[in-house]
Amino acid sequence: MEPKRVVPLAVPDVDPADVRAVNEVLASRYLASGKTAETFEREFAERIGVRHAIAVSSGTAALHMTMIAAGVRDDDLVITSPYSFVASSNAILYERGIPVFVDIDPETLDIDPAKTCDAIETLVHRRAGWQHLLPRTCNADTNVLRAVLPVHLFGRPAELRDILDVAHRNHIPVIEDACEALGAKADGVYAGAFGDAATFGFYPNKQITSGEGGMLVTNDDAWMRLFRSLRNQGRSSDPEWLRYERLGYNYRMDELSAALGLSQLRRLDELLQRRESVARLYSKLLANLDGVSPLAAPRRDMTTSWFLYAIRLAPDIDRDHLRQRLADRGIASQPYFWPIHLQPFYIERFGFRRGDFPNAEAAGRSMLALPFGPGMADDDVAYVCDAIAQEVEQARETAPMMRS
Ligand SMILES: *Cc1c(COP(=O)(O)O)cnc(C)c1O
């Protein structure tokens, strides 16, 4: 039987102004590489508080170019989080680098700052046991640490101060994956304005969307010129027609995407506020529900820019069973994320095993993302929370029987 009500996982908010902006570009017949993307870049850089923004075709494309800028080549090392969307680590592999995963903090789900600092020093100074930080299948002696790539997970700012200190003291660039964190802030600074470069993604479930699309930001003039060249087939910046200085890509953003992204950026405060109020309502309605915990609030002087709303389930709740029961009621939900090191391709290539990063694995087993978006109606949130309350109770009642 089809459920009467359907609550999807994520729906982007597209308003009449967004539609008008895209239609205007379409009517202009100016569809690629133009003024709209330039305006989007300028306003984005101003908003984040960085000198340069470079519009690109996806967040993944942005990540790839940061790895090139950091000089990642064969068997070079990049420290990153195993608990993320696979794109953050794949970008390292595009340049034939090796991901060095550092486990997350179980509370924040972001990369553990103290362990990250320790890993930087251990790898740079070849301290005892440095090889043990590398994946099992990597035994070259020449591996050099080229970058640190922390991820601001679920819109919660990663704690970067100590990581920046230690990395920069050792001349290692820090690249922020801020693809889930547009508008997040720590100590008055936007996520994306801390590192040597940062990446944003505008897929329809993100804080703002351009369809597909992304943005690179940096304060470094040389990196800005490199990114502009790389996204455009490696073309030189001088106006002479069609001279190519390096291997480049087509990572440009088209004008239709830029028009949507720009229009959404101008509504960012409204979109973030509405995300925040949906998240607040969830947290209120799920409070005191045994076996279900919302993510802990960030520390003082930190603001989350709600990418999604995920709950942590107690170990005695059968997540698959719960998901199925929610689906029967028309409610979508998604385990977020299965750790990168345990993805089949990563196991095969790097020899990772269960138990390598226990905190990431525990999160991978217990986290469940619920329907979420800026346009979500209060009574849909209430419907989801009621369903969870009922089904969780049942899942726990049946759990002891299932075990015996
Ligand atoms: C969305 C996302 C990206 C980029 O995704 P694209 O689909 O390529 O825009 C990168 N990293 C993380 C953590 C993401 O959530």
DSSP class of 253:
P
Cα 83 to ligand 1 centre (Å): 13
3-class SS of residue 362: helix
For residue 88, give the ligand 1 atom closest to its CA: 11
Q: What is the b/e burial string over 242-267, where b = at least 16 CB atoms within 10 angstroms of the residue's CB?
A: eeeeeebbebbbbbbbbbbbbbbbbb
**Edge-to-edge strand list for the sheet holding 185-186:** 189-190, 185-186, 302-303
pTM of the model: 0.96
Q: How confident is the model at residue 295, as a pLDDT?
A: 87
Ligand 1 pocket, mutate which of 180, 208, 212 (most atoms under 8 A from CB)? 180
Is residue 157 within 8 Å of 295, Cβ to Cβ? Answer: no
Cα 117 to Cα 196: distance, rounded to the nearest angstrom: 17
Cα 237 to ligand 1 centre (Å): 28
DSSP string covering 220-236: -HHHHHHHHHHTBTTB-
Cα 88 to ligand 1 centre (Å): 7
Cα 394 to ligand 1 centre (Å): 35
Cα 199 to Cα 176: distance, rounded to the nearest angstrom: 6
For residue 84, give the ligand 1 atom closest to its CA: 13
Q: How confident is the model at residue 296, as a pLDDT?
A: 84
Cα 67 to ligand 1 centre (Å): 15
User: Where do runs of H (alpha helix) occur along 191-254?
Assistant: 221-230
Cα 206 to ligand 1 centre (Å): 9
Cα 370 to Cα 377: distance, rounded to the nearest angstrom: 14
Q: How confident is the model at residue 238, as a pLDDT?
A: 77
| Residue minimizing CA distance to atom 2 of ligand 1 | 179
For residue 151, give the ligand 1 atom closest to its CA: 13
User: Where do runs of H (alpha helix) occur along 147-216?
Assistant: 161-169
> Which residues make beta-bridge pairs with 25?
none
Is residue 288 within 8 Å of 245, Cβ to Cβ? Answer: no
Q: How confident is the model at residue 404, as a pLDDT?
A: 37
Q: What is the b/e burial string over 208-241, where b = at least 16 CB atoms within 10 angstroms of the residue's CB?
A: bbbebbbbbbbebeebbebbbbbbbeebeeeeee
Ligand 1 pocket, mutate which of 152, 177, 215, 307 (most atoms under 8 A from CB)? 177
Is residue 244 within 8 Å of 19, Cβ to Cβ? Answer: no
Q: How confident is the model at residue 33, as a pLDDT?
A: 83
Q: How confident is the model at residue 400, as a pLDDT?
A: 55
Q: What is the b/e burial string over 156-176, where b = at least 16 CB atoms within 10 angstroms of the residue's CB?
A: bbbbbeebbebbeeeebbbbb
Q: Give the Å distances, CA to CA, from 46 to 39, 112, 306.
A: 11, 30, 21
For residue 213, give the ligand 1 atom closest to its CA: 9
| Residue minimizing CA distance to atom 4 of ligand 1 | 59
Is residue 149 within 8 Å of 92, Cβ to Cβ? Answer: yes
Amino acid identity of 49? G
373: Cβ–Cβ under 8 A, 6 or more apart, which residues? 10, 11, 12, 13, 205, 275, 278
The dihedral sign for the CA sequence 220, 59, 165, 129: negative
Cα 306 to ligand 1 centre (Å): 15
Cα 149 to Cα 80: distance, rounded to the nearest angstrom: 5
In this structure, the residues whose C-beta lies within 6 A of any atom of ligand 1 are 58-60, 84-85, 87-88, 151, 177, 179-180, 201, 203, 214
Cα 123 to ligand 1 centre (Å): 27
Cα 331 to Cα 8: distance, rounded to the nearest angstrom: 6
Segments in the chain below pLDDT 70: 1, 140, 240, 397-404
